[in-house]
Amino acid sequence: MANLKNMKDLSFGTKAIREGYQATNEQEHSEAIFLTSSFRFDCAEQAEKRFSKEEPGNIYSRFTNPTVDAFEKKLATLEGAEKCVATASGMAAIFTTIMALVKSGEHIVASRNMFGTSIVLLNTIITKFDISVSYVDLSDLSQWENALQNNTKLFLLETPSNPLGEVVDIKSLSKISRTNNILLAVDNAILSPVLQKPIALGADIVIQSATKYIDGQGRCLAGAVLSNTEIIEKVASFTRTTGPSLSAFNAWVVLKSLDTLNLRMKAHCENALKIAIWLENQSQVDKVHYLGLESHPHHQLAKIQQSGFGGIVSFEVKGGKPTAFKLINAVKIFSITANLGDTKSTITHPATTTHGRLTDEERINANISEGLVRLSIGLEDVDDLIRDIDRGLF
Ligand SMILES: *Cc1c(COP(=O)(O)O)cnc(C)c1O
């Protein structure tokens, strides 16, 4: 493939298709897949040089693999990061980030409004390493500042939150983290680099679950950590030693998916906005939570910080859980699954699934009502999707 190194003025959409892959001597046009666990050497001397790092090159796929490398390079370009380490899943990316950068005795401030398993990870695994965690409300900058301790090492968050779409001002938060010598890590899975670039806004680290929009077709698990070279070397050394590396096959799947990410995200946003506007006009719906609506309290901030509002729409039906369940059971196109970011639209009842682990009090504090329904809007024809929801709203 042509060398794009000197073409600085390429737009995001072009880079998403053209960056990151060096064809082999076969001059293949589509990226090849290197399904090999190890690499052989021409002679004992070369093996010695590779292992001593005197000569760059692949040794073993837990360390590096050309297909994984191509995915890492392309994603780094799109997120505006110096370097990337791909991981086996989004959770592996979060775990790896914490283990590589935070020591025993140190402290993390985390958003309460994060992905459920991230909270479980912090509460059950991370605490085993004598790392303490304080939780704050995502949007409230004063809470982040007040949670600071002498041993605070990391701010960890996800913006916008799922399912309600709360947003934090990344730029302002990064001023607090920089002043206090704290790393700011942003989970960017809900928007993908097409709609938000946390590093340009001041974050030190971006975490991705490529399982969601980056794959976009619900086929495989994958994750990534993106940052500057110094941080990524620490993270890569952790994955090499402990093993949550991305497989070449999954790397190839998500690498190909990046080609269409830009177009897909725009279509997700377009469909989601149309559905959110339609829902706002339905008498059976009490409230719609979508950042693209002017009625959303964080609409203005999202408009500045993001270049689109994403594909997650949630809303509260009148009549609570029975009405929500009736709707979920009546739709025919939407799949009943807690997954998101797929070309296929999905529907779920957060109070009994993604947020089912919370106590009643925690759920009320998190604003997850019994009548709340979450949609991940896919790429089907939007009129069909609206008719499908209409069928269930009786
Ligand atoms: C799904 C998800 C994760 C976890 O990713 P996996 O690839 O499933 O491990 C982390 N963060 C967010 C925001 C997610 O939606």
Q: In the block, which residue shows the tokens 């301790």?
A: 149
Q: Give the distance (Å) from ligand 1 centre to CA of residue 48.
A: 39
Ligand 1: centre distance to CA 60 (Å): 27
Considering the domain architecture, whether residues 221 and 295 belong to the same structural domain is answered as: no
Model pLDDT for residues 104-143, shown as the tens digit of each residue? 999 999 999 999 999 999 999 999 999 999 999 999 999 9
209 lines ligand 1 (CB under 6 A): yes
β-pair type (132-136, 312-317): unpaired
Residue where one domain finishes, among candidates 260, 290, 325 = 260
**How far does residue 91's CA lie from ligand 1's centre (Å)?**
6
Token readout for 327 is: 């709707």
pLDDT of 148 strictly over 80 = yes
- pLDDT average, residue stretch 324-330: 97
* Secondary structure of residue 110 in the 3-state scheme: strand
Whole-number Å distance between alpha carbons of 117 and 225: 17
Ligand 1 pocket: which of 117, 214, 257, 348 to mutate (most atoms within 8 A of CB): 117
> To which residue do tokens 């995200």 refer?
265
Q: What average pLDDT does the structure give for the chain?
A: 95
- The pLDDT tens digits of the residues spanning 101-113 come to 999 999 999 999 9
Which of 214, 161, 154 is closest to 187 using CA atoms? 161
Task: Using the atom order of ligand 1, give the atom closest to the CA of residue 339.
Answer: 1
Tens-place pLDDT, residues 210-224: 999 999 999 999 999
Cα–ligand 1 centroid distance for 170 (angstroms): 20
Nearest to 88 by CA among 208, 196, 190: 208
209 Cα–ligand 1 center, Å: 5
Q: How far is the CA of 212 from the centre of ligand 1 (A)?
A: 7
Determine which helix (DSSP H) or strand (DSSP E) holds 347, and give its type and residue range.
strand 346-348
**Residues 286 and 153 both lie in one domain:** no
Dihedrals phi, psi of 247, to nearest 5 degrees = -75, 150
CA atoms within 13 A of residue 230's CA, in its CB half-sphere? 3
Task: Write phi, then psi, for 118 (nearest 5 degrees).
Answer: -65, -40
pLDDT score, position 5: 62
> Minimal CA–CA distance to 14: which of 74, 72, 67, 76?
74
Q: Which of 19, 362, 283, 308 shows the shortest CA–CA distance to 165?
A: 308
Section 184-194 average pLDDT = 98
Domain that holds residue 125: 9-260
Q: What is the pLDDT of residues 284-319, one digit of tens each?
A: 999 999 999 999 999 999 999 999 999 999 999 999
End-of-domain residue from the set 231, 260, 289: 260
Tell which of 260, 295, 317 closes a domain.
260
**Angle at the Cα of 37 from the Cα atoms of 253 and 53, rounded to 5 degrees:** 110
Q: Is residue 2 part of a domain?
A: no
pLDDT at 207 over 70: yes
Testing ligand 1's pocket by substitution, the residue of 115, 138, 192 carrying the most ligand atoms inside 8 A of its CB is 115
Taking only the tens place, the pLDDT of each residue in 352-364 is 999 988 888 888 8
Same structural domain for residues 269 and 227? no
**Contact call for residues 113 and 158 (beta carbons, < 8 A):** yes
DSSP 8-class letter at 247: P
Residue nearest to atom 5 of ligand 1 (CA): 90
> What pLDDT score does 1 carry?
45
Report CA(132)–ligand 1 centroid distance (Å).
22
Residue 112: its pLDDT value, please? Answer: 93
Q: What is the mean pLDDT of residues 160-176?
A: 97
> Do residue 235 and residue 276 come from a single domain?
no
Structural domain tally of the chain? 2
Residues 239 and 320 both lie in one domain: no
Residue entry with tokens 């004598």: 130
Please, which pLDDT band fits residue 67 given cuts at 50, 70 and 90? very high
Q: Is the pLDDT of residue 202 over 50?
A: yes
Q: C-alpha angle 132/137/140, rounded to 5°?
A: 120
Give yes or no for residue 91 CB within 6 A of ligand 1: yes
CATH number for position 58: 3.40.640.10
244 CB near ligand 1 (under 6 Å): no
User: Stretch 29-51: mean pLDDT, rounded?
Assistant: 96
Q: What is the pLDDT of residues 248-261, one digit of tens each?
A: 999 999 999 999 99
Task: Determine whether 39 is exposed, middle or buried from the number of CB atoms within 10 Å of its CB (0-12, 13-18, 19+).
Answer: middle
Q: What is the pLDDT of residue 65?
A: 97
Q: Ligand 1 center to residue 172 CA distance, Å?
A: 25
- Whether residues 183 and 219 fall in one domain: yes
pLDDT tens digits, one per residue of 226-285: 999 999 999 999 999 999 999 999 999 999 999 999 999 999 999 999 999 999 999 999
Q: What is the C-alpha to C-alpha distance for residues 47 and 213, in angstroms, rounded to an integer?
A: 39
Cβ neighbours for 306, distance < 8 A, ≥ 6 positions apart: 160, 167, 191, 195, 196, 291
Name the residue with the closest Cα to ligand 1, atom 11.
115
